[in-house]
Amino acid sequence: MENVQKSGRMPLEGALEAVRETLRRALRDTQPPMLDLTAHLAESEGKNFRALLLLATASDGEVTIPTDAVTAAAAIELLHLATLVHDDVIDDAEERRGMPSIKSRFGNKAAVVCGDYLFCKCFMMVAQLAKRFQDQFEIVARAMTKICLGELRQLRHNADAGLTVRQYLKIIAGKTSALFALSMYTGALLAGEEPMRMRRLARAGHYIGMAFQLTDDCLDYETKGYILKKPVKNDLAEGVVTLPLILAMADKPELRDVVGKNLAPREAAEIAAQVIALGGVQRTKNVAGRYCDKAARLIEQETEGPRRDALLRLLEKIRVRVY
């Protein structure tokens, strides 16, 4: 516990609102050329699961957290937001969090610069913490590297009807789960945990991130757009191959013929119905459930008391979420 200050703590309850306020402040404390874009982003909020996991992992037996955890959680959410802004350019997405995406409102070039700007804001926050954890600063860069490689692998395999389960899991291990692992690793670091426990909690975060993305893949097939607050059946329409489709194609190889084709909304809905009927969605949910079980075992082994309870509650929310 040598790196953790004894003062400068706050209750876990209410910490998420402090993170959101820090985020809003960061987005609004911007120079005029960028202010229109960041103010637009400040008008909507995500589910903040990554921040919640970091905060819960950083908590102690008295259900308090170091105040630095708020800064770290806000930095994680800024990093996530930056990747979303860039994702919307790559995916040509018109909507994000129930609002027009930055790309659709301000254009691709402005969105790319906005994403880059958010990365800078994130690293400025991280720099505030790096003074006490100089030997850990590179973990953010490593996570960012994994995210970029995961996104590039997904692009390289776009419209790839031969994508294997193993290849797909490697893609999402980078583009999604790396940030969940970073969240729990950072929380454990701020809690003053020993290196082995930090790594094991990061592994739990990896499992949670895998389950989160696999659940997202299922929701894209099952849920209405107004619930998700983003376009649905979009993966199919954009040629993005995810696990439900991979599993369905194994049972019905002729589905490979539609991968990469420019599908109309009705055609995408018909293919989605076939994927569901073939059990692709349910089997993907089963895989996600196994990742949740692995995460739960690690959390039970490595934490105790209110901290364990808070993490297991978050895990259950991720396990059963419908949006």
Domain of 127: which CATH number?
Answer: 1.10.600.10
Q: Is residue 1 part of a domain?
A: no
Domain of 179, in residue numbers:
9-320
Q: Is residue 300 part of a domain?
A: yes
pLDDT at residue 224, rounded to an integer = 63
Where is 40: in which H helix or E strand?
Answer: helix 32-42
C-beta neighbour count of 292 within 10 angstroms: 22
Q: Is residue 305 part of a domain?
A: yes
Lowest mean pLDDT among 217-221, 228-232, 252-256: 228-232
Terminal Cα-to-Cα distance of the chain (whole angstroms): 38
* Percentage of the chain lying above the pLDDT 70 cut: 94
Q: Is residue 2 part of a domain?
A: no
pLDDT at residue 232, rounded to an integer = 52
Q: Is residue 4 part of a domain?
A: no
pLDDT in tens, 281-319: 999 999 999 999 999 999 999 999 999 999 999 999 999
d(Cα 143, Cα 184) in Å, to the nearest integer? 12
Where is 210: in which H helix or E strand?
Answer: helix 195-222
Q: Is residue 3 part of a domain?
A: no
pLDDT at residue 6, rounded to an integer = 43
Q: Is residue 266 part of a domain?
A: yes
Average pLDDT over residues 35-46: 94
In the block, tokens 């973990």 appear at 139
Number of separate domains in the chain = 1
Angle 121-117-190 (CA atoms, 0-180°, nearest 5)? 25
Q: Is residue 159 part of a domain?
A: yes
d(Cα 162, Cα 15) in Å, to the nearest integer? 45
